[in-house]
Structure 1
Amino acid sequence: MKLDTELIEELLNSSVSSYKISIATGISRQMIGKLRNGQADFHKGSLENAVLLHTFALEQKEAGSLKTKGEAVMKEVETKEELLYQLKKKADEIFITGELAAEIYELQKGQLSDTERMGVELGSGGMQMLIEYVFIRLFEMNEQLGKEEKKMRRTITQLYYIKKISTDTVLLRLKQLDY
């Protein structure tokens, strides 16, 4: 059996939910999320997982369910105004190009991974949310940013994964798509 790696990539970039892939393949949703966000690479994973993903991708393609999200939900933006508009609409994926991409990528450095966030929330008994809110407000007071820009940064860090595609391109992916 030959594995079509492009078909597996098509599945991971499709609108098929991580939950559905996980149920069908037995691969955890967390691993599917990591594969989708580039934190893990199926080329370097187990052959068994690659076969499971390939088999499911073939089934989805034959059923006509394997539709990529690229054309339907990914929005390309270059300015802050366009970005704000897409954030208000809660676009599934936002492709940021130009100088704005570097600025948005800097936000990733302050973003906790899902595992880190869960550990903090469990360890703090729920107080983490209040502490985070106060910390963010104090941090924002020191920055000379407008109200809209502060809201934009908060929305991005709370709702989106930030993935650097190239030096002048960043992809924002809505976190809930991976669950």
Structure 2
Amino acid sequence: MNQCMDVFLQKFGLTRYDVSKRTGISQQTLSSANKKDPGSYSVKILSALSDATGISPGEVLDQLLRIQKEEERFVVRNWDELKIAVDAMKERFLVEGEFTEVMKDVKSGQLSDTARLGTELGTGGGVGIIEALYYFMHRQLSGGNKEEEKLKDRLTSLYHIILLDEHTVELKLKSLSY
């Protein structure tokens, strides 16, 4: 599931919350639609996206279908976008630019895949707890913004962090690997 709506809105610097505020359509309705194939979006959803972005409903649908076809991913460049991605439990998303340093820091608190496999076998699946404790101790020593640190904790428990290159990181839900 690509969650095309979020990718589409990101191109306009908008969120589903922004669309809800501008159009009066509920966030719950937008969230529900975001989980579906954009080809099945109702006229109400397409009209709301059109009103929020200033392009025609037909162009909205065309762009949504293009995003789906090309499997474009949500891109995170700051804490607000990261919160959106994690709260929505996006299956996969990218982190680009300077914000990749934050992901590298989080990754340094995660076990490697080989170490994880060995520990999973040895602990009967309890490695997530060990990893979370390690990251919690690392965080306590470094200090930091509490909200950002909680978000990092969620990343550690929910996502594999894959370094694609120096300026791009992919995050993939761990549950997809099982």
Tell me the matched-pair count. Answer: 113
Contact 2:161 2:172 in 1 (8 A): yes
TM-score, normalised to structure 1, is 0.51
Q: Residue in 2 aligned with 1:105?
A: 104
| CA 1:166–1:117: 2 relative to 1, 3 Å | closer
| Whole-angstrom distance in 2 between the partners of 1:130 and 1:157 | 10
More RCO (CA 8 Å, sep 6+) = 1
Q: Residue in 2 aligned with 1:170?
A: 169
CA shift for structure 1 position 155? 1.7
Structure 2: stretches of 5+ with no match in the other structure: 3-67
User: Is the alpha carbon distance of 1:129 and 1:175 closer, same or farther for their aligned partners in structure 2, counting shifts above 3 Å?
Assistant: closer
Displacement after TM superposition at 1:174 (Å): 1.3
Does the Cα contact within 8 Å between 1:161 and 1:175 map onto a contact in 2? yes
Shift of residue 132, structure 1, vs aligned partner: 4.5
User: Once the two structures are superposed, what CA deviation does each residue of 1:26-80 show, in whole Å capped at 9, x if it has no partner?
Assistant: xxxxxxxxxxxxxxxxxxxxxxxxxxxxxxxxxxxxxxxxx86723xx2112111
Evaluate the alpha carbon distance shift between residue 122 and residue 164 of structure 1 in structure 2; reply closer, same or farther with a 3 A threshold.
closer
For the aligned residue pairs, the C-alpha RMSD in angstroms reads 2.9
**Partners of 1:126 and 1:160 in 2: CA distance:** 16
Secondary structure in 2 aligned to 1:70? coil
The CA deviation at 1:105 is 2.2
Distance in 1 of aligned mates of 2:172 and 2:114: 17
Query: 1:1-179 to 2 correspondence within 5 Å?
Result: 70-71=71-72, 74-124=73-123, 131-179=130-178
For 1:117 and 1:109, locate their aligned partners in 2 and report how far apart those are by CA, in whole Å: 13
Query: Under a length normalisation based on structure 2, what TM-score does the superposition of the two structures give?
Result: 0.51
Please give the alpha-carbon distance, in whole angstroms, between the structure 2 residues aligned to 1:166 and 1:126.
30
Which stretches of structure 1, 4 residues or more, deviate above 6 A after TM superposition?
none
2: CA distance, partners of 1:138 / 1:159 = 18
Q: Could you tell me whether the CA contact under 8 Å between 1:105 and 1:163 is conserved in 2?
A: no
Are the equivalent residues in 1 in contact too, given 2:109–2:135 (CA < 8 A)? no
Equivalent residue for 2:11?
none
Taking structure 1 as reference, are residues 86 and 126 closer, same or farther at Cα in structure 2, changes over 3 Å only? closer
